[in-house]
């Protein structure tokens, strides 16, 4: 039996980042993700790493840019309002094709909002947030173990594709405690011949930059970058298919919403309703194919979200509106209950394709 420890989701992210070889953390405290910074502050000095509480979120993300330019694994973390502040830096990192791991443990918004869990930064994470044409790999953990596993995976994908991986968690995932196995072995690393590590007068300078003086060149870089994104879409889609074999209703949910939904599925099946779930683990790239295939089998979808309905747009696009998609949601830091989800399942089952 692997030796397990009892961890908060936030701690699991920090510990997994260290296991992945990350030795640079820059951040600024904000509830509900402060445990990541606190853990790094305690651990980094013991292992020769750097923890730095920056003067702001903006400073922290630009420190990430700097360390990443030098080819080292680096991360920052924050919660919703802090991620908004990092928006400019995220765009510059994308424009310079730098790998980075950014964690957003979401809280209720907009504005200062509240400190209770939320998923209302879905648009910000998957559609942009910063300016310009760019994508981030967006990973959505639904357990403390996945907080750790996807952090490791996030670093690997970031290095492999030279782009940002974002862990899009919610306050519940950050705060809840569960047993975790942290048996990872040697981290997988990637050559970084593009990094600015000093030429030793033996090679031309590497340049890390997002400014292009000639528009044709900027256009070419954008098209090349989107070729890379296409590869990510082809190779890196992750999702969990749960009780979908005979399902007539398909729930789509991630993070804490998926956990509540699993309980609702059990209750619905006791009542004889055939319901399953497709749980996106990558929110970008979104699992379009399995959803499109499911649309030919089920009679309706239910998108369960801690937002006013953001992922539902991607569900409708992925399923090409072949079947109705209901929204089951709470907002402002509230979490849909099993009863909420069950009511939506019953509604979808009763009305089928009629609405």
Partner 1 sequence: MDQKRITLLAGHYGSGKTNIAVNLAFRLKETVDRVTIADIDIVNPYFRTKDSQKELEAAGIRLICSEYANSNLDIPALPDALYSIIDDRGQTAIVDIGGDDRGALALGRFAPGILEENDFEMLMVINRYRPLTRKPEDLLAIRREIEIAGSIPFTGIVNNSNLGVETTKEDVLRSLPFARAASELLGLPVKMTTVEERLYKALEGSIENLFPLRLQHKIN
Q: Is 32 a residue that touches partner 1 (CB under 8 A)?
A: yes
Q: How near is the Cβ of 42 to partner 1 at its closest, in Å? A: 7
Residue 32 or 71 with smaller CB distance to partner 1: 32
Strand pairing category for 50-53 and 24-27: parallel
Q: Is 353 in the site for partner 1 (CB under 8 A)?
A: no
Nearer to partner 1, 35 or 159 (CB): 35
Among positions 137, 139, 252, 335, the unique one binding partner 1 when judged by CB under 8 A = 335
Angle, nearest 10°, between helix axes 144-161 and 215-235? 140
Q: Which one among 21, 49, 87, 114 touches partner 1, defined by CB under 8 A?
A: 114
Stretch that binds partner 1, among 221-229, 303-311, 328-336, 338-346 (CB under 8 A): 328-336
Q: Are 165 and 159 spatial neighbours (Cβ–Cβ below 8 Å)?
A: no
CA distance 83 to 76: 10
- Map residues 182-201 to x or -, x wherever contact with partner 1 holds by CB under 8 A: x-------------------
Phi then psi for residue 119, to 5 deg, are: -130, 25
Closest approach of partner 1 to the CB of residue 5, in Å: 5
Contact positions with partner 1 (CB under 8 A) in 35-64: 35, 38, 42
Answer yes or no whether residue 327 interacts with partner 1 by CB under 8 A.
Answer: no
Residue 108 near partner 1 by CB under 8 A? yes
- 73 with 155: CB under 8 angstroms? yes
State which H helix or E strand residue 297 sits in. Answer: none
Task: Check: CB of residue 256 under 8 Å from CB of residue 172.
Answer: yes
CA distance 294 to 250: 8
Tell me how crowded residue 211 is: count the other CB atoms within 10 A of its CB: 8
Count of chain residues binding partner 1 (CB under 8 A): 25
Write b or e for each residue in 269-278: b if 16 or more Cβ atoms lie within 10 A of its Cβ, otherwise e: beeebbbbbb
Cα 27 to Cα 53: distance, rounded to the nearest angstrom: 5
Tell which phi-psi region holds residue 320, choosing left (phi > 0), alpha (psi between -120 and 50) or beta: left
116 is a contact residue toward partner 1 (CB under 8 A)? yes
CA nearest neighbour of 163 among 81, 230, 252: 230
**Of 2-10, 203-211, 300-308, 343-351, which segment contacts partner 1 by CB under 8 A?**
2-10
Residue closer to partner 1 by CB (options 5, 317) is 5
Q: How far is the CB of 116 from partner 1 (least distance, A)?
A: 7
Does 5 help bind partner 1 (rule: CB under 8 A)? yes
Contact between 178 and partner 1 per CB under 8 A:
yes
- For 355, other C-beta atoms within 10 Å of its C-beta total 10
Contact 294, 250 (CB under 8 A): yes
Q: How far is the CB of 1 from partner 1 (least distance, A)?
A: 10
Q: Binding string, 133-172, against partner 1, x = CB under 8 A? A: ----------------------------------------
**Nearest CB to partner 1, comparing residues 9 and 130:** 9
Q: Nearest distance from residue 345's CB to partner 1, in Å?
A: 20
State which of positions 247-306 bind partner 1 (CB under 8 A): none
Beta-strand runs (E) in the chain = 4-8, 24-27, 50-53, 74-78, 100-106, 137-139, 164-170, 177-181, 239-242, 249-252, 275-280, 282-284, 300-305, 325-329
Which of 127, 132, 177, 235 is in the footprint of partner 1 by CB under 8 A? Answer: 177
Between residues 163 and 335, which has the closer beta carbon with respect to partner 1?
335
Does 333 engage in binding with partner 1 (CB under 8 A)? yes
Residues contributing to the site for partner 1 (CB under 8 A): 4-8, 11, 15, 31-32, 35, 38, 42, 108, 113-116, 175, 177-179, 182, 333-335
């Amino acid at each position: 039996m692997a030796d397990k420890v009892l961890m908060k989701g936030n701690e699991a992210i920090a510990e997994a980042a260290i296991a992945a070889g990350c030795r640079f953390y820059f951040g600024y405290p904000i509830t509900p993700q402060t445990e990541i910074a606190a853990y790094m502050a305690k651990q980094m000095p013991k292992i020769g790493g750097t923890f730095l509480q920056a003067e702001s979120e903006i400073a922290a993300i630009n420190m990430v840019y700097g360390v990443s330019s030098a080819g080292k694994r680096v991360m920052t973390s924050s919660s919703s309002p802090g991620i908004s502040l990092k928006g400019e830096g995220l765009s510059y990192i994308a424009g310079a094709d730098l790998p980075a791991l950014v964690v957003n443990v979401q809280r209720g918004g907009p504005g200062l909002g509240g400190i209770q869990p939320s998923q209302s930064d879905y648009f910000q994470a998957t559609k942009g947030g910063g300016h310009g044409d760019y994508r981030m790999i967006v990973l959505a953990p639904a357990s403390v173990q996945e907080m750790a596993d996807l952090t490791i995976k996030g670093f690997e994908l970031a290095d492999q594709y030279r782009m940002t991986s974002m862990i899009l968690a919610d306050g519940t995932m950050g705060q809840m405690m569960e047993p975790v196995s942290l048996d990872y072995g040697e981290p997988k690393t990637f050559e970084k011949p593009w990094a600015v590590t000093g030429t030793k007068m033996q090679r031309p300078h590497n340049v890390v930059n997002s400014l292009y003086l000639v528009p044709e060149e900027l256009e070419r870089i954008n098209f090349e970058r989107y070729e890379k994104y296409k590869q990510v879409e082809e190779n890196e889609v992750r999702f969990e298919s749960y009780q979908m074999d005979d399902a007539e209703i398909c729930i789509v949910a991630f993070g804490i919403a998926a956990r509540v939904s699993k309980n609702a599925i059990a209750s619905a099946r006791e009542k004889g309703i055939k319901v399953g779930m497709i749980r996106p683990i990558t929110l970008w790239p979104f699992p379009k194919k399995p959803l499109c295939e499911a649309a030919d089998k089920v009679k309706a979808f239910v998108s369960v979200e801690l937002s006013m309905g953001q992922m539902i747009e991607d569900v409708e696009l992925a399923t090409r509106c072949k079947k109705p998609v209901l929204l089951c949601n709470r907002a402002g830091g509230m979490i849909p209950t099993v009863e909420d989800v069950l009511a939506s399942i019953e509604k979808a089952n009763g009305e089928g394709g009629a609405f």
